[in-house]
């Protein structure tokens, strides 16, 4: 009896302790007005602008057609729709009343000024690594470099139990490793700078790593093993990379700056705004990111590279003797590809051989299907490489995809082309 009572009491103590721990955040008093612009030096504001770009704050905190940073973008998650907030310096509807202390707490611990837990759709598990100096610079830029906008973003209303924000205390306990970043002394300065940016403000893993069932990023061998974003497949950035030619540091620099590399092709979809912001960054920083990421890649062996290039060239569309597959399913695709795509995608055409691209090697056809329908609007560094949106009937697209996979790779056919096309056509995917 006494033993049982002991267990009950112990249980209660642990419960109350956990609850007290979860509820440990107080409100931080609001400022009457956002700090005046002359509080911050020009150098700090410029640095803050770059770091804000590195964090892609504007990408998530701007709804289509809305003013920059004023929030209201709907982010569909498996737990329901989460709306981004207004982070302009408007006191009533934005973060104008937030002190640097409150802002730092949000970036490091995912807690808002009032002491409420924020959903991890806000990638604070990455931003936590950011140094005090960089957080202060971002704060300065948001307060003094961004125009205040009076706009109340829609309230996020997730279904029970996800509406209980206190439960995020448990999530944070599992997944939040509080920063700032600590350098690995066995590695050089560039590697550490790259790790700081990729793992921190760059939050690359939030798309490029698979998620577990409660939305935490998988680590270990699954780190950078590929994921999903906004209805797009996100390719792996580790030794499981699907790029036919492994990524070297130089190729990564080209891709991260310009969204294009001559051995890998072009960026598309949700990666485009990321590249758009990397384009403005300091060269040293992007080199450091590439150097860090390169340590996750397969080694580049010249003989294999030559093999891939030879294969890809041999399989390109030759207008003088277009491929004539005997399999009727492939023949229809060849005809449609010839009609809709081969004006540009052909031997010595402008786009690089499709057989060299990651996109054609992905486990599903959603990205290729999306690109075929929506075209490509490249970021500034490769502006001349745009592909127009095309009008294609579903059955023609299906035939084209079937043909492309057989023509440009040695992989198995894509397993569910109808499903992939339906997913791309569904309005909810956007
Ligand atoms: C991947 C999308 C995404 C990115 C990128 C992002 N945020 Fe957010 N942010 C969110 C979401 C979603 C919320 C709301 C979370 C909630 O309601 O719990 C949020 C909330 C916030 C809040 C709390 C505001 C409030 O009123 O409660 C701040 C501050 C913030 N973000 C700052 C930033 C900064 C600074 C950056 C760039 C370094 C950034 N965010 C980048 C998605 C994002
Ligand atoms: C919002 C989600 C998202 C974020 C954040 C993101 N990526 Fe991507 N990334 C993608 C998608 C989607 C693609 C595939 C684009 C395509 O189909 O062409 C991609 C492609 C890439 C590729 C090309 C890989 C290949 O084999 O073709 C590289 C390299 C890359 N991303 C690096 C990064 C780095 C570095 C960061 C962080 C600075 C980052 N990404 C952040 C979504 C994201
Ligand atoms: C008007 C010219 C044009 C037409 C027509 C066209 N494309 Fe493209 N496509 C491009 C350009 C330019 C790129 C950018 C890639 C580059 O320059 O390397 C591109 C890129 C792509 C990519 C991404 C490759 C990568 O680098 O990951 C795919 C997939 C693709 N096109 C498929 C198609 C398909 C399928 C069709 C026909 C249904 C088609 N394209 C029609 C010009 C075109």
Per-residue pLDDT of the chain (430 residues; tens, 9 = 90+): 777 788 888 888 888 888 888 888 999 999 999 999 999 999 999 999 999 999 999 999 999 999 999 999 999 988 999 999 999 999 999 999 999 999 999 999 999 999 999 999 999 999 999 999 999 999 999 999 999 999 999 999 999 999 999 999 999 999 999 999 999 999 999 999 999 999 999 999 999 999 999 889 999 999 999 999 999 999 999 999 999 999 999 999 999 999 999 999 999 999 999 999 999 999 999 999 999 999 999 999 999 999 999 999 999 999 999 999 999 989 999 999 999 999 999 999 999 999 999 999 999 999 999 999 999 999 999 989 999 999 999 999 999 999 999 999 999 999 999 999 999 999 764 4
Task: Report how far apart the first and last C-alpha atoms of the chain are (Å, whole number).
Answer: 60
Dist CA 18 CA 6 (whole Å): 18
Residue 149 · residue 88 · CB < 8 Å: yes
Task: Considering every ligand atom shown, identify the ligand nearest to the alpha carbon of residue 123 and give its number.
Answer: 1
Q: Which atom of ligand 2 is nearest to the CA of 242?
A: 26
CA 330 to chain centre: 34
Q: Which of 266, 275, 316, 402 is the pocket-test mutation for ligand 3 (most atoms within 8 Å of CB)?
A: 266
Distance 106 CA to ligand 1 centre (A): 9
Please, are residues 423 and 429 in contact by the beta-carbon 8 Å criterion?
A: yes
Q: Which two tokens stand for residue 125?
A: 């598990």
The per-residue pLDDT for range 48-103, each reduced to its tens digit, is 999 999 999 999 999 999 999 999 999 998 899 999 999 999 999 999 999 999 99
The token pair that represents 417 in the structure block: 């082309």
What are the C-alpha distances in Å from 303 to residues 108, 356, 407? 46, 15, 22
Contact 308, 245 (CB under 8 A): yes
Q: Is the peptide bond before 409 cis (omega within 30 degrees of 0)?
A: no
* 408 CA → ligand 3 middle, Å: 13
């Amino acid at each position: 009896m006494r033993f049982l009572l002991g267990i009950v009491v112990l249980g209660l103590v642990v419960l109350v302790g956990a609850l007290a721990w979860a509820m440990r955040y107080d409100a931080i008093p609001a400022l009457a007005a956002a700090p005046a612009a002359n509080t911050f030096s020009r150098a700090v504001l410029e640095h803050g602008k770059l770091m804000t770009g590195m964090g892609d704050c504007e990408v998530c905190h701007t709804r289509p057609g809305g003013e920059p940073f004023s929030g209201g973008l709907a982010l569909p998650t498996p737990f329901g729709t989460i709306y981004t907030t207004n982070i302009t310096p408007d006191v009533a509807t934005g973060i104008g009343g937030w002190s640097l202390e409150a802002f730092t707490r949000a970036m490091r611990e995912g807690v808002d000024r009032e002491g409420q837990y924020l959903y991890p759709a806000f990638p604070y598990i990455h931003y936590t690594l950011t140094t005090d100096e960089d957080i202060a610079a971002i704060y300065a830029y948001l307060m003094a470099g961004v125009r205040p906008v009076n706009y109340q973003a829609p309230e996020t209303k997730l279904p029970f139990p996800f509406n209980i924000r206190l439960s995020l205390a448990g999530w944070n306990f599992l997944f939040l490793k509080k920063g700032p970043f600590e350098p690995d002394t066995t590695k050089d300065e560039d590697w550490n700078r790259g790790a700081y940016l990729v793992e921190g403000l760059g939050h690359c893993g939030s798309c490029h790593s698979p998620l577990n069932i409660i939305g935490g990023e998988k680590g270990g061998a699954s780190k950078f093993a590929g994921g999903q974003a906004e209805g797009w497949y996100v390719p792996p950035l580790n030794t499981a990379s699907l790029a036919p030619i492994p990524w070297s540091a130089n190729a990564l620099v080209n891709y991260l700056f310009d969204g294009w590399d001559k051995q890998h092709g072009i960026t598309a979809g949700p990666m485009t705004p990321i590249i758009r912001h990397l384009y403005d960054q300091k060269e040293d920083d992007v080199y450091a990111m590439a150097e860090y990421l390169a340590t996750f890649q397969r080694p580049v062996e010249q003989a294999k590279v030559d093999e891939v290039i030879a294969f890809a060239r041999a399989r390109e569309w030759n207008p003088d003797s277009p491929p004539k597959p005997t399999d009727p399913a492939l023949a229809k695709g060849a005809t449609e590809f010839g009609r809709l795509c081969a004006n540009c995608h052909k031997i010595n055409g402008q786009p690089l051989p499709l057989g060299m691209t990651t996109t054609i090697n992905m486990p599903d056809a959603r990205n290729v299907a999306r690109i075929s329908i929506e075209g490509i609007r490249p970021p500034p560094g490769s502006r001349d490489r745009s592909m127009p949106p095309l009008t294609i009937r579903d059955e023609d697209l299906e035939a084209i995809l079937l043909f492309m996979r057989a023509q440009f790779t040695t992989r198995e056919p894509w397993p569910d082309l109808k499903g992939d096309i339906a997913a791309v056509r569904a309005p909810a995917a956007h």
